[in-house]
Amino acid sequence: MTMSINIAINGQKLTVPEGTTILEAAKQIGIEIPTLCHLKDTNEIGVCRVCVVEVKGARNLVPSCITKVTEGMEITTNSPKARKAREMVMNLILATHPKDCLTCDRNGDCELRTLADKMGIRKIDFGAPVKDLPLDDSNPSIIRDSSKCILCRRCVSVCNEVQKVSAIGLINRGIGTTVGTAFDRGLADSPCVFCGQCVSVCPTGALTERFNLREVWQALNDPDKHVVIQTAPAIRVSLGEELGEEPGTIVTGKMVGALRKVGFDKVFDTDFTADLTIMEEGHEFLQRLTEKGKLPLITSCSPGWVKYVETFYPEFLDNVSSCKSPQQMFGAIIKTYYAEKYKIDPAKIYTVSAMPCTAKKFEANRPEMNSSGYRDVDAVLTTRELGLLIKEAGVDWASVEDSQFDQPFGEGTGAGIIFGSSGGVMEAALRTLSEVVTGKELKNLDFKGVRGLEGIKEAEVTLNGQTLRVAVANGLANAKKVLDGLKNKELDYHFVEIMACPGGCIGGGGQPRPSTPDTKQKRMEATYRADKGLPRRKSHENPAVQEIYKEFLKKPLGEKSHHLLHTSYTPRNK
């Protein structure tokens, strides 16, 4: 039973449940206390001290974000002492922070800058020299600018607790404290999986994706280049946030229209290769099931997850599906099948992909991803970069009209769209497997047991009398739990879907900020809405998929598939 606690904030009496923080209680009566390091459930450590308030009888000011109310507590949020302290703490943070806000990646959506404005900071005291620390641009995905780091530790908490990767931690102490990798060697030489969850929570410009917009513009401006773009399932439910829409708005048609205005020769849908993935992976699963191959089969669409398993659990590499991710399948198909079919020199094709993900940049860079004879995917843009591309191109989003994806890869099914949410790949696979195995039409397409933001989901499905146990994990801490369970033989599954990011791609490291549980929920609901609204909701029903097998690939797991659509993995050092 939860007790009720009677408190007073700024003289106003209220009753709140036990366990409520001062911050939450104040919010209930419409008072917003500034916070910076605080991230509910993830980073509740009260270190930045910008949220301090005065509590009657307390020796010092208390951090409102993590101080729980107690009976009879009398809180003053705006006493001169508290206001002065908050202002000075903010000033201390700003004193050594670089002042190049105009050219910062976070110009426009910087939490620090917004907070400084809200707190009425109009002058930065102390005249301290600005931090000048080396940039970590050692890898294709994430750039770390420690000079802009305010040591709020959100990234560290996410990396250590949510993802259990622990690529970054705190180095040195006192004024010399920085966030960095072991021996400060840079992310490239660390176990970082490039999931970008750190980028997603950073309140400043200290963590950003590596910008690939310049290369894309260069290709678009090159008359000799045939520039195609593929857009991932999860960005059609989130791109809108970058352009002023409410979270959860489905902007598929507008996005295609806008990208055409930007100047892409073709705008394709990654849904197509999501469906193709289901064909290949589904058959791989059946093969393993009937030929007593290694089980459980674990999905391979999430490049952050793939690097994680290569680094931390190499003993499971044989369990991971050999299928490339939809992004990479797309790149390989464009530079072979598409090039042949439309008689375009593959050397002149430039493939861009728009992804909710920072790890996709790393994936596109993997040296083995060139089975077409060329680099399969030339440039990867995050959802955020895609939004910026549209803005940079001067496209007036409000007036853009809906448009359709280009053929032959403009056909997608509902199964492909739900790839964007945790559980979606599993659900899509089950839809196809059911019909392939039983030969009968599936009536109820909704496998609700694998849906939702919950970290680990389990379900059982009976196909032709055989019960299949499946599991879905999102967020690497949950992946770790599943793998440890499998290792100890406490868990036993036939098929497992793992996504590196909490919530799946809708919560990817390349998605618009802030990516809160609430916005993730709205994006997730949107993927299922989009699925419901489509005439075709099973991957094997995709006519373009049927056509490519007929014209080019011949059959799932065939020789061409093997060459273009599958890959292998290598163990990596921690």
Partner 1 sequence: MQIYRGHVLVCAGTGCVSSGSRKVKAEMEKQLEAFKLEQEIKVVETGCHGFCEMGPIVIVYPEGIFYCQVKSEDVKEIVEEHLLKGRPVKRLMFKDRITEEMVPHYNDIDFYKKQNRIVLRNCGFINPENIKEYIARGGYEALAKALTEMTPEQVIEEVKASGLRGRGGGGFPTGLKWGFARAAKGDKKYVICNADEGDPGAFMDRSILEGDPHALIEGMAIAGYAIGADEGYIYVRAEYPLAIKRLKIAIAQAHEMGLLGEDIFRSGFNFKLNIKEGAGAFVCGEETALIASIEGRRGEPRVRPPFPANKGLWGKPSNVNNVETFANVSKIIAKGSQWYASMGTEKSKGTKVFALTGKVKNTGLAEVTMGLTLREIIFDIGGGIINNKKFKAVQIGGPSGGCIPEELLDLPIDYDSLIQAGAMMGSGGLVVMDEDTCMVELARFFLNFTQLESCGKCTPCREGTKIMLDILERITKGEGKEGDIELLQSLAETIKSTALCGLGQTAPNPVLATLRYFRDEYEAHIKEKRCPAGVCSALTSYTILEDKCKGCTACARVCPVQAISGEVKKPHKIDSSKCIRCGACMETCKFSAIIKK
Strand partners, 13: 8
Interface residue with partner 1 among 30, 80, 174, 465 (CB under 8 A) is 174
The least distance separating partner 1 from the CB of residue 180, rounded to whole angstroms, comes to: 13
155 is an interface residue for partner 1 by CB under 8 A? no
Instruction: Tell me the C-alpha distance between 118 and 90, whole Å.
Output: 11
Tell me how far apart the alpha carbons of residues 273 and 376 are, in angstroms, rounded to a whole number. Answer: 13
Q: Which is nearer to partner 1, 47 or 442 (CB)?
A: 47
241 to 233, 251, 394, 529: CA distances (angstroms) = 15, 10, 17, 17
Residue 78 sits in the site that holds partner 1 (CB under 8 A) = no
Question: Smallest distance, Å, CB 147 to partner 1?
Answer: 14
Q: How far is the CB of 70 from partner 1 (least distance, A)?
A: 9
- Shortest spacing between CB 33 and partner 1, in angstroms: 14
User: Which of 11, 57, 80, 176 touches partner 1 (CB under 8 A)?
Assistant: 176
Question: How far is 116 from 124, CA to CA, in rounded Å?
Answer: 10
408 forms part of the interface with partner 1 (CB under 8 A)? no
Exactly one of 3, 41, 60, 343 binds partner 1 (CB under 8 A); that residue is: 60
DSSP for residue 51: T
Are the C-beta atoms of 301 and 419 separated by less than 8 Å? yes
Q: How many residues does the chain have?
A: 574
Question: Does residue 66 touch partner 1 according to CB under 8 A?
Answer: yes
One of 96, 114, 166, 546 touching partner 1 (CB under 8 A): 96
Q: Minimum Å distance from CB 69 to partner 1?
A: 12
Residues 367-396 that bind partner 1 (CB under 8 A): none
- 14, 92, 101, 442: residue in contact with partner 1 (rule CB under 8 A): 92
Of 66 and 188, CB closest to partner 1: 66
What residue has token string 């290569």?
A: 310
With binding defined as CB under 8 A, does residue 47 bind partner 1? Answer: yes
Are 365 and 140 spatial neighbours (Cβ–Cβ below 8 Å)? yes
Among residues 11, 175, 367, 535, the one that binds partner 1 under rule CB under 8 A = 175
CB-nearer residue toward partner 1: 107 or 177: 177
CA nearest neighbour of 299 among 153, 434, 493 = 493
Would you say 150 or 333 has its CB closer to partner 1?
Answer: 150
Is the link from the previous residue into 223 a cis peptide, with omega within 30 of 0? no
Q: How far is CA 370 from CA 102, 189, 271, 287, in A?
A: 39, 23, 21, 26
Per CB under 8 A, the list member of 29, 135, 170, 347 interacting with partner 1 is 170
Nearer to partner 1, 34 or 508 (CB): 34
Please give the structure tokens belonging to residue 406: 């280009």
| Both structure tokens of 110 | 């910087």
Which of 60-68, 205-213, 291-299, 332-340 is the region at the interface with partner 1 (rule: CB under 8 A)? Answer: 60-68
Task: Tell me how far apart the alpha carbons of residues 212 and 380 are, in angstroms, rounded to a whole number.
Answer: 7
Q: How far is the CB of 202 from partner 1 (least distance, A)?
A: 17
**Of 502, 264, 273, 301, which is closest to residue 386 (Cα–Cα)?**
264
Angle, CA 206 vertex, CA 204 and CA 210 arms, to 5°: 115
Q: Does 73 bind partner 1 (CB under 8 A)?
A: no
* Among 266, 350, 333, 352, CA closest to 544: 333
As measured in angstroms, the least distance from the Cβ of 9 to partner 1 is: 19
Q: Which is nearer to partner 1, 26 or 459 (CB)?
A: 26
| Interaction between residue 50 and partner 1 (CB under 8 A) | yes
Is residue 344 a contact residue for partner 1 (CB under 8 A)?
A: no
Using CB under 8 A, which of 7, 22, 39, 93 touches partner 1?
Answer: 93
Quote the least distance from Cβ 206 to partner 1, whole Å: 15
- Diameter of the chain measured on Cα atoms: 80
Please say which residue, 93 or 206, places its beta carbon nearer to partner 1: 93
Three-state secondary structure call for residue 80: helix
Residue 237: DSSP 8-state: G
Strands 4-9 and 74-76: parallel
114 or 160: whose CB is closer to partner 1?
160
Among 126, 287, 342, 487, binds partner 1 (CB under 8 A): 126
61 binds partner 1 (CB under 8 A): yes
| Residue 555 CB contacts under 8 Å (≥ 6 apart), including other chains | 549, 561
Gyration radius (Cα) of the chain, Å: 25
Q: Among all residues, which ones are annotated catalytic?
A: 281, 284, 301, 321, 360, 363, 368, 505
Give the span between the Cα atoms of 327 and 482, in whole angstroms. 26
Contact flag: residue 191 with partner 1 (CB under 8 A): no
At its nearest, how many Å lie between partner 1 and the CB of residue 93?
6
Chain contacts with partner 1 (rule: CB under 8 A): 45-50, 52, 60-61, 63, 66-68, 81, 84-85, 88-89, 92-93, 95-96, 125-126, 128, 151, 169-170, 172-177
